[in-house]
Amino acid sequence: MVQLLAFQLRLPPPRRNESRRLATQREIGRMLASFLLKLLQGKRAAPSAEAGRADLAGLLLRTHAPQAAARQLAAIAESGAWRDDSGAALRCIGQALRVASGLGRLVAGAIAVAESRLLEHAGRLLVLLAEPSEPQRTQLQVAFHLGLVVHDYASASHTTILRLRHGALEAQLAMGKRKMETDEDEEGPSERPPPDAPYGATLATLCGGRCMRLAMMLLGAEAVRQLEGGPALRGAALWSDVWVAGALEELLQALLAALNPRLPWRSPPGPLTATRLLLRLGLALVRQGRVTATAAAETARPEGGAAGAAGVAGSGDGSRADGAAAAAPQILALLGAQRWRFAQVALLQATEHASARFPLGKEPPGWAAAVTETWRLAGTLLQEEAVAAGVGAGAGAGAGAMAEAVQGAVGPEALERLVGSLTGLVCTMESSWDFGDAEKGLWVFPAEALPGVAAAAAGGALPLLEGLLRRTGRSPAGPEAALLSRVRSQGGSGDWWPAVPLLAYGPPLQAAALLATATKLLRVTPARCLLQYSGSTEAQGLAFVADVVGLLAFAPAPVNIGRTKNGDPARGPLRQLSLVLSPALPEWVRQLARLLREAAALEEGAWQRELRRGREERAAQPGRRARTVKAEAREVEDMLLLRLLRHMAFLVGLELPLPRGQDEALPGEDPAGPGPASAWQPRPPERAETAGAGCAAGVAPSAAATSSVLSRTEAVEVIGAALTLVPRLAPSHGGTWSFLSACVAVGDWCLALAASLPSDVRAAATAASGGGAGSSALAWRPEALRALAGALADVQEVEAAEVKAGEAKAAEAAGEEVGLAEALKALAVRVEGWGADGGKGEVGSEAAQDRASGVVGDKGFEFGWEGSLWGAVAGFALPSAEARRRLGLPACSNPACANLAGDSEAGLPLRLCGRCGRASYCCRECQTAHWQAGHRGACGGCGKEYGSKRAVSPDGNVPR
């Protein structure tokens, strides 16, 4: 059979009036090609069957079947035989493609097919046959062979490319493994060629032709047209007439291969055209998902099916949406769950094209528009998965296919594709941090957003991120949490640095809504998340807040702003950044302080249990050696607790403008933020790294009265909680830069509060004797201060080595750390005296007390925010209520609101209280909770004119 097939592949090009004997030989060859293809493409079976397939492929390769088929197709094209008998030419093409499909599933066969250029010659003939003359059209319309050829060509091209890519990847992995095994024995670079060289060269040869990619593009474009329901493409009208439904999946695979940026294509189209076609494909697939999801939902409903489908289909472009609605049943039957995979691959490839053009300012203007559409596709695709999941869960049996589709769309491979897509989109944005204009870098805010940031803002990056955060809050174990965690870790610096340019240049209401969602996530975040790492799926809201706080408080970080056309400083981005942060920062500080206090109580409770367990073991076995009690070892990673402890100044010392008057609060309730009674002015010492780090923004400090967010007692408790937590981290994180920075920040504030609030610190020093793990966890213990001093002193040896090397900066840093450690030891002496005899005694030598008084005396400390981003925007800060009014951001009157229903805080529907008409709520649960928390006494029917318009009972029930 192989010899007969080899003979037939060497026959001359077919003619219209050739002999019957020659026609019979061709027919036998086609039958043999189909039969052998079925043998080679069978399902995986026993090893003996696989060996038999390999032997059969070896026979075909020994007869040079791919080369003979390629020469036959080239002869058909050169001689013009495709004009004489198009049907016979199509049958020859189909026969050659069956040979390529069968051999392309094996590595050796794929190499032979690629080197023979069989697919290039077949693609040339398909392009020539795309627009036949009118007499030939009638003949070809009744020929079923064209549909088979289209299917076979798409399958053969995709299979061959995939096999070569897998072969190259396997070779690279094998090379890496061998290199790791032999690195210890080899010296110098290896002279051996890379093992993937044959695969790479063969793949380059396959992708070097023009006709193959053009044919794949035409076939794939026709598939996109079928999805969109539009008119037939010019150059592919014939294919639309003989469309074969079963080829749709293969055509989409061929199109994605033709547009893959990782393949060495050397022929048109260019990257921008490829990106636009990928976006069309992704949007068409998403639109089909909407149509089919609605159709499934309406099928399960007894009435109203047609109206619902028309409403969803009409949400996009009119003509394409109508065609998509008409094609929905066909597409539902053809693609099923595969459409989600194709849409995700299209998004990933479009993102790879776009990220390769960074920075966008140096590219043609069309790239910015393409990146904007890519952001929109990402948001639509992720939102569509949630919509489809809801249909599959609530539509009953009619939506079973959709539920299965969505379940397959969020698997591990889909997660990898979405992570790659969002990471690539993040990399198209220009950072506001510039490493080149200063010794360590500085913030740069031009008058207008850079192209990448503007494209992200216009494409809906803020609503996309907010929607993912809200779904993470509703389902911490869902795929959105894993997606956010992976994107954050792979997005460059390991934090949410895109938040700064998006908040400064994006739509203000969307930016404020994102921060409001993060605030709600903080309210429901348990304290244990603070002891986890930023990669934890349960702590994504806390990780986002910690990143933003770290970016705002990072120092030294001078700020440089651009100029307007008139030459004036462009303070607009900083004003917007301050405006969107003003409603969120007070609640962030309070919630982070709560988490620190609760985490300290958890750690203190675990520590006490460990101590009791040790005492019980020693009592049970008196001769046994005491076990060393230490905190649980944690791997050195980006721990959220350490990130917050490094920026204690932002938590303890943040000051914001006071509200203009008591009218901003409801009757009988406190205004937003602490009032003058709790105002205090903390002044921690200025560190050397922030000294002289000026702000180039030229921003004058705000003249409005400010007050610290935390009260005196809360500030002292937060530092007490930090003193409890820092020693617990020493066994696992001691000596790391993060741990040392946290110790320095906590130590600075210990000295500052001891000087500014001595009476409050004295009260905290006696809390340990009050009993209870909660009180002792917030106490100021002398041993905790000494442990903190010891942690700082441990770095003296490391710094001394750098001092000997002649590094002046290292010597200065070492001196400061040693000085801080000595000051903390002196403070421990004073705290120990304060805690004696219920807080009335003083212990220690007079010299030690004098030394402590000299270190933590009543003198003030000079401190400012000039060395950080917050120092540049603090002058524009507003009271929370006023900032919300300017933004138009709705806010529930329940201070503990954690309602994450809906897609955004920007469109949160609120309903007024029917008695007072001033409080507003997002749901019944919030009104009930606020009524029980104190609004019952504050309401009092002060707005009776509202009560006549709303049927709300005095007990706080929201009208339905």
DSSP 29-63: HHHHHHHHHHHHTPPP--HHHHHHHHHHHHHHHHT
**What is the phi/psi pair of residue 569, to 5°?**
-60, 130
For residue 135, pLDDT over 80 is answered with no
Q: Where are the domains of the chain?
A: 248-260+268-299+329-390+401-410, 435-583, 585-617+630-658+709-805+820-837, 884-940
The CA distances from residue 365 to 370, 418, 793, in Å, are 9, 26, 56
DSSP 461: H
Identify which of 594, 561, 301, 279 has the alpha carbon closest to the alpha carbon of residue 446. 561
pLDDT higher than threshold 90 for residue 277:
yes
Question: For 563, which DSSP code?
Answer: B
Where is average pLDDT lowest: 69-83, 135-149, 484-498, 875-889?
A: 135-149
Lowest mean pLDDT among 110-119, 220-229, 907-916, 938-947: 938-947
Higher pLDDT, 764 or 183: 764
Beta-bridged to residue 560, according to DSSP, are: 444
Other CB atoms within a 10 A radius of the CB of residue 129 amount to: 20
Model confidence at 134, pLDDT cuts 50, 70, 90, reads: very low
The per-residue pLDDT for range 632-653, each reduced to its tens digit, is 434 444 678 888 888 887 778 7
Task: Tell me the C-alpha distance between 403 and 292, whole Å.
Answer: 12
State residue 460's pLDDT score: 93
CB 61 within 8 A of CB 118: no
What average pLDDT does the segment 445-464 reach? Answer: 92
Q: What distance in Å separates the CA atoms of residue 94 and residue 194, rounded to the nearest whole number?
A: 36
Decide: 392 and 406 in contact? Cβ < 8 Å. yes
**pLDDT at residue 398 is higher than 90:** no
CA atoms within 13 A of residue 619's CA, in its CB half-sphere: 6
CB 645 within 8 A of CB 742: yes
In three-state secondary structure terms, 443 is strand
Q: Which pLDDT belongs to residue 440?
A: 58
- With 70 as the cut, is the pLDDT of residue 384 above it? no
Give the pLDDT score at 361.
81
CA angle, 642 then 687 then 869, to 5°: 70
Kindly report the average pLDDT of the chain as a whole number: 74
User: pLDDT digits over 327-341, tens only?
Assistant: 444 554 556 667 788
Q: How many residues are recorded in the chain?
A: 960
pLDDT at position 687 over 70: no
Model pLDDT, residue 351: 94
CA gap 381, 903 in Å, rounded? 14
DSSP string spanning 637-691? S-BHHHHHHTTHHHHHS-EEEPPS-GGGS-TTSPPSS--GGG-----PPPPTTTT
Q: Are 923 and 899 in contact (CB under 8 A)?
A: yes
Tens digit of pLDDT for each residue in 89-99?
A: 878 888 888 88
- Alpha carbon 261 to chain centroid distance? 22
Mean pLDDT of 427-432: 85
User: CA-CA distance, 325 to 645, in Å (whole number)?
Assistant: 56
What mean pLDDT do residues 13-19 have? 80
Residue 828 has pLDDT above 50, yes or no: yes
Degrees (nearest 5) of the Cα angle 197, 201, 202? 115
In the predicted model, is pLDDT for residue 512 greater than 90? yes
